[in-house]
Amino acid sequence: MAYGCIHSRSYPLSTWSKNKVQGNEVAFSLGYGFSICRTPNVKCSQKLGEQSLSISRAVEKKPVKKSGKNEHHLWKKRDSAGSGQKALNLVSIVSQLPSEKETVYGALDKWVAWETEFPLIAAAKALRILRKRSQWLRVIQVAKWMLSKGQGATMGTYDTLLLAFDMDNRVDEAESLWNMVLHTHNRSISKRLFSRMISLFDHHSMPEKIIETWRSYVSDQMKTQSGK
């Protein structure tokens, strides 16, 4: 009876295997460092050892490109740290200014004057810091300044600005911004923004506006589902 082996263990071969395997060479590889063959145990082990050695050499020759990933990761860390410091500088600047719009906008223009690109990440981080500190007037001023520069027109910025309007009792400005968002960002308004407006109207005891906003939300969802 013919025997095959995997490493040094032997087992009977089926009739189909006998017909397919010819000679004393390795028949085929299973791809995981071992083969099926018809050689005696010693020869089979020798061939498997040679095969493992060739695989090891191939792995050694394979180029490993880890430096690029590490450099990119470090670059991202440096950028994150830099934007964080810029954000803190912005917060420090606006916190010490009087409330006049012209004074604040002038200081913000100086803050960004030497930048080759608008520091959007730093400005967004500054907004989050001001929001956590409940400095609502400064949130409004910085957010409006960003939007006046054509920057930061995102659902996150709108949400922060609407919250600041709510906390600073500027319902009219909140409604004006909300209507702009409804007409400009049709079918792409986040649920959070609808929730923010409903909360604002509830906070200021405006039930009719709550119903109106809810209807707008339902209509927006129907348009999204229908794809129109």
Note if the pTM is more than 0.85. Answer: no
Residue ranges with strand state E in the chain = 3-6, 9-12, 26-29, 35-37
Question: Hey, what amino acid is at 62?
Answer: K
| CA 33 remoteness from chain centre | 39
Specify the pLDDT at position 79. 54
Per-residue model confidence as pLDDT tens for the chain (228 residues)? 444 444 444 444 444 444 444 444 433 344 444 444 444 444 444 544 555 445 445 445 545 544 444 433 333 444 555 899 999 999 999 999 999 999 999 999 999 999 999 999 999 999 999 999 999 999 999 999 999 999 999 999 999 999 999 999 999 999 999 999 999 886 678 999 999 999 999 999 999 999 999 998 998 888 777 765
User: Which region, left, alpha or beta, applies to residue 63 given φ > 0 means left and ψ of -120 to 50 means alpha?
Assistant: beta
